[in-house]
Amino acid sequence: MSTIPESAQLGNHTVIEKDVTIGKNVVIGHHTIILQGTQIGDNVAIGCNCVLGIQPNTNQRMRKISQIDNPLVIESGTRIGHLVSIYSGAQIGKDVFIGDHASIRENVSIGEESVVGRAAIVELNTRIGKSCTIQTLAYVTGDTTLEDHVFIGPCVSMSNDKYMGAQSYSLKGPYIKKGAKIGNNASLLPGVSVGSNTIVGAGSVVTKNMEDNIVVAGIPAKQINS
C-alpha cells in the first residue's frame, strides 16, 4: 500500500495504487486515479477524473514499446487540471501547469514553470524546456525538442514520420530553439528546426530549417522580414 500523509486532501472515490509517493499538502480531486509507482511532490494540486502513471500499450502495427521502469514524477508546486492523462516515465518539473483534457506520454520531460494548455498533447520521448507555453489543442509530436521560452500557439500541428508509416521507423520531430514562437494552426514537418527567437506565422507550413531571428509565413513558409 501507499502511505498517504495526513496533509493530503483526497476527493471521493480516488484510487491510489501501490508504491505511490505523496508529498506534503497535496490535493487530489474526485475520481482521480494514481497508478502504481507515481511520485508526487509537495504542494501539487491535481483535478478530478485524471489518470496518472499510465504504462504504454500498443497493437502489432505500432512502434514497439517496452514496459517503462521509470515512474511518473511530478515535482513540487505543479498544478494539473481535470480529465488529464500522463504516462509513466514522464518528468514534470516544478510549478508547471497542465490544462484539462491534456495528455502527456512516456519519457517526456517538462521544465519548470512551463504551461501545457487545455487538450494539448505531448507525445513520447519529447523534451520541453523551462518557461515554455504550449497552447490549447496544440500537438507536440514524439522525438521533439523545445528549448526554453518557446511559445507554441493554439492548434499547432507537428509530425515526426516523413514516410507516413510506409517505411520502418526512423522518427524525428521538430527542434525548436530558445524563444521561438509558432503561430496558431501552423504545421511543422518532420525533423525541421526553427531558429532562436524566430516567429512562424499562423497557418504556415514549415518544410525546411529556419534561421534564428527571422519572421516566416506562408505555404511553404518563407522569410517575410527580420
Instruction: List binders of its own copies among 85-144 (CB under 8 A).
Output: 85, 95-97, 100-101, 103, 113, 115, 118-119, 121, 123, 131, 133, 135-137, 139, 141
Q: Which stretch binds its own copies (CB under 8 A): 9-17, 18-26, 36-44, 65-73?
A: 9-17
- Fill in the amino acid letter for 162: K
Q: How far apart are the first and last CA of the chain?
A: 58
Sheet strand arrangement including 73-74? 21-22, 39-40, 73-74, 91-92, 109-110, 127-128, 145-146, 175-176, 193-194
Of residues 21 and 49, the one with the C-beta less far from its own copies: 49
Q: Grid coordinates in use for 29? A: 480531486
**Cα separation values, 92 from 105, 150, 155, Å:** 11, 17, 22
Instruction: List binders of its own copies among 207-226 (CB under 8 A).
Output: 207, 218-219
Instruction: List binders of its own copies among 146-175 (CB under 8 A).
Output: 151, 153-155, 157-159, 164-166
Of residues 109 and 185, the one with the C-beta less far from its own copies: 185
Buried b (16+ CB within 10 A) or exposed e, 147-160: bbbbbbbbbbbbbb
Q: Which stretch binds its own copies (CB under 8 A): 2-10, 65-73, 81-89, 208-216?
A: 81-89
Among 20, 22, 40, 54, binds its own copies (CB under 8 A): 54
Among 39, 72, 82, 177, binds its own copies (CB under 8 A): 82
- Find the farthest-apart pair of alpha carbons in the chain and give their distance in angstroms, rounded: 60
Among 13, 24, 208, 222, binds its own copies (CB under 8 A): 13
Category of 24 on φ-ψ map: left (φ > 0), alpha (ψ -120 to 50) or beta: beta
Cβ atoms of residues 165 and 182 within 8 Å: no
Q: Which stretch binds its own copies (CB under 8 A): 2-10, 27-35, 67-75, 208-216?
A: 27-35
Determine, following the binding rule CB under 8 A, whether residue 177 of this chain makes contact with its own copies.
no
Among 6, 59, 67, 168, binds its own copies (CB under 8 A): 59
Determine, following the binding rule CB under 8 A, whether residue 202 of this chain makes contact with its own copies.
yes
Of residues 13 and 24, the one with the C-beta less far from its own copies: 13
Rounded CA separation 29/138 (Å): 25
Of residues 23 and 29, the one with the C-beta less far from its own copies: 29
